[in-house]
Amino acid sequence: MTGNNIQLDTKGRLKHFLTIEGIDRSLFIEILDYAESFAAVGERAVKKVPLLRGKTIANLFFEPSTRTRTTFELAAKRLSADVLNLNILSSATKKGETLLDTLQTLEAMHCDMFIIRHPNSGAAHFIASKVAPHIRVINGGDGRHAHPTQALLDMFTIRKHKPDFTTLKVAIIGDVSHSRVARSEIHALSVLGVPEIRVIGPRTLIPNDIESLGAHPYYDMNDGLKDVDVVMMLRLQRERMRSALLPSEYEYFKRYGLNEEKLALAKPDAIVMHPGPINRGIEIDSKIADSERSVILQQVSHGIAVRMAVMAMTMGNRSGETQ
């Protein structure tokens, strides 16, 4: 996809944040390092910095989401921006307005940034290719394509526990085929130099071309989890359980759910990750979710820090404007 470069300006700096593809290692590390400074903000008594004061950030959610929308909203507020929550499903598009007219209207209202969540793959790219030069676009998840801030927060979390990516074995478990999270994770792990990326799931849920992305497929947890440093569970879309692609919930948990017995195959200090919300007893046993090896809640906290970083970086790279 050649269009990925639209997320960089002519000096190679971050302009939009649409996908991990096209972000090189040094820029990726720069974002992670910048996010460190915001992780500290969440711990302070006054969790606010004035970086984006007087900016207007529009949350454009074409798909329902509480968690992602909330973390973007909190990230924006902690940067002192004004936030506009637009549930597009129930707004002007119903009145027959086209998407581009809606976007141009928001630009005319002097919005500075759009956070996009959309069921169609490529939606955030399309929007970024159409907006006025001063507008920044951040992809909050588009179809099966990408969820780049999720990959960012997960790499941030891994780095806290395993600082050297170049020695890691990482397994991603679940419905890889339908997961924008999995795609973005694989790209991110590759960029950061992880030598062994595994995906584990039923054959029906692992894409045929997965090796072209640099990941190795496993269809059995006992093989795939062996000696890994990081276990990344995917969320199971329970809606899909009813389709023919998946066995029953019970059967799924037995084969691909994470329990103590299976986790024992990983390295003794392996960490367990999940993008949330978790389905206890389906993807993951409660004992593990609540154990010290689980870093699931750290992921949530880091989600706000990395989103603050991406918002502040893209906005800071607007030519000719002083903050």
Interacting residues toward a second copy by CB under 8 A: 42-48, 53-56, 64, 66-67, 70-71, 73-74, 77-78, 82, 84, 86, 90-92, 95-98, 101-102, 104-105, 107-110, 238, 276-280, 282, 297-298, 300-301, 303-304, 321-323
Calculate the dihedral angle through the C-alpha atoms of 215, 218, 223, 226, rounding to the nearest 10 degrees: 30
In whole angstroms, how close is the CB of 272 to a second copy at the nearest point? 15
In whole angstroms, how close is the CB of 195 to a second copy at the nearest point? 30
Which residue, among 308, 273, 314, has the nearest Cα to 71 in the 3D structure? 308
Distance CA 70, CA 185 (A): 21
Comparison of 135 and 304: residue with beta carbon closer to a second copy = 304
Q: Please answer whether residues 20 and 151 qualify as being in contact, where contact means their C-beta atoms are separated by less than 8 angstroms.
A: yes
Comparison of 9 and 107: residue with beta carbon closer to a second copy = 107
In whole angstroms, how close is the CB of 96 to a second copy at the nearest point? 5
In whole angstroms, how close is the CB of 103 to a second copy at the nearest point? 11
Comparison of 95 and 203: residue with beta carbon closer to a second copy = 95
Comparison of 264 and 297: residue with beta carbon closer to a second copy = 297
Residue 158 in tokens: 């891994």
Comparison of 214 and 276: residue with beta carbon closer to a second copy = 276
In whole angstroms, how close is the CB of 306 to a second copy at the nearest point? 13
In whole angstroms, how close is the CB of 7 to a second copy at the nearest point? 22
CA atoms 147, 151, 153, 154: torsion sign: positive
Comparison of 22 and 276: residue with beta carbon closer to a second copy = 276
Q: Which amino acid is at 290?
A: D
Comparison of 48 and 216: residue with beta carbon closer to a second copy = 48
In whole angstroms, how close is the CB of 111 to a second copy at the nearest point? 8
